[in-house]
Amino acid sequence: MSKHPWWRGAVIYQIYPRSFQDSNGDGVGDLAGILSRLDYVAALGVDAIWISPFFSSPMADFGYDIADHRAVDPLFGTLQDFDHLLARAHQLGLKVMIDQVLSHTSIEHAWFQESRQSRDNPKADWYVWADPQPDGTPPNNWLSIFGGIAWHWEPRRQQYYLHNFLESQPDLNFHQLEVRRATLDNVRFWLERGVDGLRLDAINFCFHDRQLRDNPPKPAEKRNGRGFQADNPYAYQYHWYNNTQPENLDFLRELRALLDRYPEVTSLGEVASEDSLATMAEYTHDHGLHMSYSFELLTEACSAEYIRATVTTLESRMPNGWPCWAISNHDSKRVMSRWAGPNPAPHQASMLSAMACSLRGSYCVYQGEELGLPEADLPREALRDPYGIAFWPNFKGRDGCRTPMPWQDTSTAGFTTGRPWLPIPKEHRPLSVACQEADPDSPLQRFRRFMHWRKQQPALRWGCIHWFELSAPVLVFTRQWAEDKMLVIFNLSATEQAIPLPEIKVQEVLTGHGLVEGRLEDHVCHVPGYGAWFARIT
């Protein structure tokens, strides 16, 4: 098994530092807190951790607005704290991936502070600046994901600067060679420190259209964007010109060339484009990224037909590239609220994680997913996310998936000795780690058993995938690696499903995976509601 790069078929556990574990009582999680919980993470059976941004930042977007790419924000600790975390993770056999936000910076970054001063300073063209139209309006119709126009006026230059996200997150000008060099130098700093991989935030946003052409309007019936709600004005356009430009491919090859100097280091790109599956395939082709993922399984859609169609479409476009799947993260409503509804079965959470982990590719699991946490319903006054504040009440933002990790059934959940930066939802307390440790059938225990079982299944980690199309609410497919061929069935419904298997020769029914199991009777597999069935076949 060791001949494969570690990241192929890996399960990567995403840690949102603010909400994982607070070590100093200020109510905000930190690097020392993560270090104190690494034994728990390793015991889950995952292969790596991905740590969301912990760099110096004014926290307008909670770390995704970076003011210094090489410094740890004091809120999270020090570089020495990171080094200790990295060393301990490696002792436990965990790889460490970190977020890299390349397309934009904070408005407080030294580069921007210099660039905004004049049109002739050394960094004058390091950001995307443009003159107003004759009537003083912005140069084109581009919109920000977080609402409103994507341009902000700078009186010192008498120009607008581009911000695809918050106005305090100006976009870098990647058409400028020095910007690309400086960006790669920042990446090199962390590679030299010993990280095992990079999760690349909004990686398709690095380049913009040089001509600043207007984005065309999108018909109302097609405003079903990925990663943002349909009533956001951002969904009213085809985003052909403000991101996903062809020049980005050359930059990704430059980035890959740098990464290839560090054995076993990997890259995982986040993609949100007009055709994310096509972009994922393009970005992982011809010495591009190692892996990519998109928002295709982070939507409300959860039918067997939708999941099968999404995976088969990507497979047809990416026969040689390597995908990474995610059904929850820090930007989306928790999967148990999106896909399981108000009264989920206790074992549904582990089934959904197992389903995603059984697709061809790698998998990112978001902290708390192993506990089956639902989305927190926070009152308006508790919101911290600028996205949710801007779109209240139709959209409550991302705070509902970012509440602190419940370690104990207490008022502060064992997360902090102070006041947590977001409230602890009362419905999370009985789902705490401490509560679930004692129950062998809890989502946590089932999750652990599946992850450890999966490590022993080469077909699930590296094998090709072939789908069976059925009208029932089930996913049926095979995974095959060399001579090891596995039949996999997941029942996405609450009622038992009977799946005829007349043409399939079952060699061995596989058990020990921790999920609610089906049974085989007279060439028919009976799979309980939210259950699964695995078998070796010939």
Burial of 149 (0-12, 13-18, 19+ CB in 10 A): middle
Sequence-distant (6+) residues with CB within 8 A of 431 are 371, 372, 373, 406, 443
Q: Residues of 452-468 as b/e, b for ≥16 C-beta within 10 angstroms? A: ebbbebbbbbbbebeeb
The Cα–Cα gap between 261 and 259 comes to 5
Q: Is 300 a catalytic residue?
A: no
The Cα–Cα gap between 248 and 242 comes to 12
Q: How many separate helices (H) and strands (E) can be counted in the chain?
A: 14, 21
Closest CA to 147 of 234, 57, 21, 41: 234
Assess contact for 83 and 185: CB atoms under 8 A.
Answer: no
The Cα–Cα gap between 519 and 538 comes to 18
Burial of 176 (0-12, 13-18, 19+ CB in 10 A): middle
Q: Is 201 a catalytic residue?
A: yes
The Cα–Cα gap between 31 and 12 comes to 18
Going 62 to 230 to 104 to 7, the CA torsion angle's sign is positive
Q: Please state, in angstroms and as integers, the Cα–Cα distance from residue 320 to each residue in 268, 273, 280, 291, 478, following that order.
A: 16, 21, 12, 11, 18
**Torsion region of 326: left, alpha or beta (phi above 0 gives left; psi -120 to 50 gives alpha):** beta
The β-bridge partners of 12 are: 48, 364
Assess contact for 75 and 33: CB atoms under 8 A.
Answer: no
Strands (E), 5-143: 11-15, 48-51, 55-56, 68-72, 95-101, 129-130
Sequence-distant (6+) residues with CB within 8 A of 222 are none
Q: Which of 171, 201, 375, 399 is catalytic?
A: 201
Q: Which of 65, 81, 171, 270 is catalytic?
A: 270
The β-bridge partners of 410 are: none
Query: In the structure encoding, which two tokens stand for residue 187, read together?
Result: 């990446």
3-state DSSP assignment of residue 254: helix
Q: Any idea how long the chain is?
A: 538
What is the arrangement of strands in the sheet containing 151-154, beginning at the earlier edge strand?
129-130, 159-162, 151-154
Active site residues per annotation: 201, 270
